[in-house]
Protein backbone atom coordinates (compact mmCIF):
# COMPACT_ATOMS: atom_id res chain seq x y z
CA UNK A 1 0.00 0.00 0.00
CA UNK A 2 1.44 3.37 -0.96
CA UNK A 3 1.44 6.37 1.33
CA UNK A 4 -0.44 9.23 -0.36
CA UNK A 5 0.08 11.75 2.43
CA UNK A 6 0.79 15.18 0.96
CA UNK A 7 4.24 16.62 1.63
CA UNK A 8 4.24 19.46 4.13
CA UNK A 9 5.79 22.69 2.90
CA UNK A 10 6.06 26.29 4.07
CA UNK A 11 8.08 28.48 1.76
CA UNK A 12 8.59 32.22 1.33
CA UNK A 13 8.26 32.89 -2.40
CA UNK A 14 8.43 36.68 -2.52
CA UNK A 15 9.30 39.37 0.00
CA UNK A 16 8.14 42.92 -0.68
CA UNK A 17 7.30 46.29 0.85
CA UNK A 18 3.62 47.02 0.42
CA UNK A 19 3.60 50.53 1.91
CA UNK A 20 5.97 52.96 3.67
CA UNK A 21 5.18 56.33 5.21
CA UNK A 22 7.32 58.57 7.41
CA UNK A 23 6.35 61.95 8.82
CA UNK A 24 8.32 64.31 11.05
CA UNK A 25 5.91 67.25 11.24
CA UNK A 26 7.89 69.28 13.78
CA UNK A 27 11.28 69.05 12.09
CA UNK A 28 13.67 70.79 12.17
CA UNK A 29 12.43 72.49 15.36
CA UNK A 30 12.38 69.22 17.27
CA UNK A 31 16.16 68.94 16.83
CA UNK A 32 16.64 72.21 18.73
CA UNK A 33 14.74 71.02 21.82
CA UNK A 34 16.75 70.38 24.99
CA UNK A 35 16.57 66.94 26.63
CA UNK A 36 13.13 65.73 25.63
CA UNK A 37 11.70 62.46 26.94
CA UNK A 38 9.56 61.12 24.12
CA UNK A 39 6.77 58.61 24.47
CA UNK A 40 6.77 55.98 21.74
CA UNK A 41 3.69 53.93 20.89
CA UNK A 42 3.84 50.87 18.67
CA UNK A 43 0.86 49.22 17.00
CA UNK A 44 1.29 45.96 15.11
CA UNK A 45 -1.13 44.02 12.94
CA UNK A 46 -0.95 40.90 10.82
CA UNK A 47 -3.25 40.43 7.82
CA UNK A 48 -3.42 37.87 5.06
CA UNK A 49 -5.21 36.97 1.85
CA UNK A 50 -5.38 33.63 0.11
CA UNK A 51 -4.15 34.37 -3.42
CA UNK A 52 -3.96 30.86 -4.87
CA UNK A 53 -4.55 27.23 -4.02
CA UNK A 54 -1.63 27.08 -1.60
CA UNK A 55 -0.44 30.71 -1.72
CA UNK A 56 -0.99 33.35 0.93
CA UNK A 57 -0.11 37.04 0.90
CA UNK A 58 0.83 37.79 4.51
CA UNK A 59 1.36 41.40 5.60
CA UNK A 60 2.87 42.64 8.83
CA UNK A 61 1.86 46.25 9.50
CA UNK A 62 3.49 48.50 12.07
CA UNK A 63 2.83 52.06 13.18
CA UNK A 64 5.38 53.77 15.42
CA UNK A 65 4.46 57.17 16.82
CA UNK A 66 6.87 59.18 18.95
CA UNK A 67 5.57 62.24 20.81
CA UNK A 68 6.51 64.61 23.62
CA UNK A 69 4.16 67.01 25.36
CA UNK A 70 1.55 67.59 22.65
CA UNK A 71 4.00 67.48 19.73
CA UNK A 72 4.57 64.67 17.29
CA UNK A 73 8.24 63.86 16.79
CA UNK A 74 7.65 61.29 14.05
CA UNK A 75 5.23 58.72 12.72
CA UNK A 76 6.51 55.71 10.81
CA UNK A 77 4.12 53.31 9.11
CA UNK A 78 5.42 50.25 7.29
CA UNK A 79 3.72 47.27 5.66
CA UNK A 80 6.17 44.43 5.00
CA UNK A 81 4.66 41.53 3.11
CA UNK A 82 5.52 38.17 1.72
CA UNK A 83 3.94 35.53 -0.46
CA UNK A 84 4.09 32.16 1.28
CA UNK A 85 3.30 28.74 -0.15
CA UNK A 86 1.78 26.51 2.53
CA UNK A 87 0.95 22.91 1.60
CA UNK A 88 0.01 19.75 3.43
CA UNK A 89 -1.39 21.33 6.59
CA UNK A 90 -4.88 21.40 8.09
CA UNK A 91 -6.81 24.67 8.15
CA UNK A 92 -6.06 25.14 11.86
CA UNK A 93 -2.37 24.52 11.27
CA UNK A 94 -2.38 27.02 8.40
CA UNK A 95 -3.98 29.63 10.67
CA UNK A 96 -1.19 29.06 13.19
CA UNK A 97 1.52 29.31 10.53
CA UNK A 98 0.04 32.57 9.21
CA UNK A 99 -0.21 33.97 12.74
CA UNK A 100 3.22 32.85 13.99
CA UNK A 101 5.69 31.54 11.40
CA UNK A 102 4.98 34.13 8.70
CA UNK A 103 5.19 37.21 10.99
CA UNK A 104 8.37 35.79 12.57
CA UNK A 105 9.82 35.60 9.06
CA UNK A 106 8.75 39.15 8.16
CA UNK A 107 9.62 40.87 11.45
CA UNK A 108 13.40 41.25 10.95
CA UNK A 109 12.76 43.05 7.66
CA UNK A 110 10.19 45.43 9.11
CA UNK A 111 12.41 46.08 12.13
CA UNK A 112 15.37 47.00 9.90
CA UNK A 113 13.22 49.25 7.69
CA UNK A 114 11.72 51.16 10.64
CA UNK A 115 15.16 51.60 12.21
CA UNK A 116 16.59 52.83 8.92
CA UNK A 117 13.76 55.33 8.37
CA UNK A 118 14.11 56.76 11.88
CA UNK A 119 17.90 57.19 11.72
CA UNK A 120 17.85 58.58 8.17
CA UNK A 121 15.37 61.19 9.39
CA UNK A 122 17.96 62.37 11.91
CA UNK A 123 16.61 60.72 15.06
CA UNK A 124 18.38 58.32 17.43
CA UNK A 125 18.23 54.68 16.41
CA UNK A 126 15.03 52.85 17.27
CA UNK A 127 15.44 49.11 17.66
CA UNK A 128 12.15 47.28 17.87
CA UNK A 129 12.32 44.49 20.42
CA UNK A 130 11.52 40.92 19.33
CA UNK A 131 7.87 39.99 19.45
CA UNK A 132 6.56 36.67 20.72
CA UNK A 133 4.06 35.84 17.98
CA UNK A 134 3.42 32.43 19.61
CA UNK A 135 2.15 34.16 22.75
CA UNK A 136 0.06 36.65 20.76
CA UNK A 137 -1.56 33.81 18.81
CA UNK A 138 -2.24 31.81 21.99
CA UNK A 139 -3.80 34.91 23.56
CA UNK A 140 -5.99 35.48 20.49
CA UNK A 141 -7.14 31.84 20.56
CA UNK A 142 -7.96 32.13 24.25
CA UNK A 143 -9.94 35.35 23.71
CA UNK A 144 -11.86 33.72 20.87
CA UNK A 145 -12.61 30.71 23.08
CA UNK A 146 -13.84 32.98 25.88
CA UNK A 147 -16.14 34.86 23.48
CA UNK A 148 -17.70 31.63 22.21
CA UNK A 149 -18.35 30.50 25.81
CA UNK A 150 -20.22 33.71 26.65
Give the pLDDT confidence score for residue 5 in this predicted structure. 67
Q: How confident is the model at residue 98 (pLDDT cuts 50, 70, 90)?
A: very high
CA dist., res. 75 & res. 42, Å (int)? 10
pLDDT at 115: 97
Provide the mean pLDDT of the chain.
93
Residue 5, CA distances (Å) to 55, 86, 95 in order: 19, 15, 20
94 compared with 5, residue with greater pLDDT: 94
CATH code linked to domain 9-149: 3.10.420.10
What ranges do the domains of the chain cover? 9-149
The pLDDT value recorded for residue 1 is 46
Q: What is the pLDDT of residues 135-144, one digit of tens each?
A: 999 999 998 8
Nearest CA to 137 out of 83, 100, 110, 91 is that of 100
The tens digit of pLDDT for each residue in 1-52 reads 445 567 999 999 999 999 999 999 999 989 888 878 899 999 999 999 999 9
Pairing state of beta strands 9-23 and 39-50? unpaired
Using CB atoms within 10 A of its CB, is residue 71 exposed (0-12), middle (13-18) or buried (19+)?
middle
> What is the DSSP pairing of strand 71-87 with strand 9-23?
antiparallel
Amino acid sequence: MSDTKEERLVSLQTLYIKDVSFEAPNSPGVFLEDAISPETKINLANTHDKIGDDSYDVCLKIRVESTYDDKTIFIAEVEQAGVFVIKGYTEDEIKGLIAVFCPNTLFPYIRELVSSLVTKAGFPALLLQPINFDALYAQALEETEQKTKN
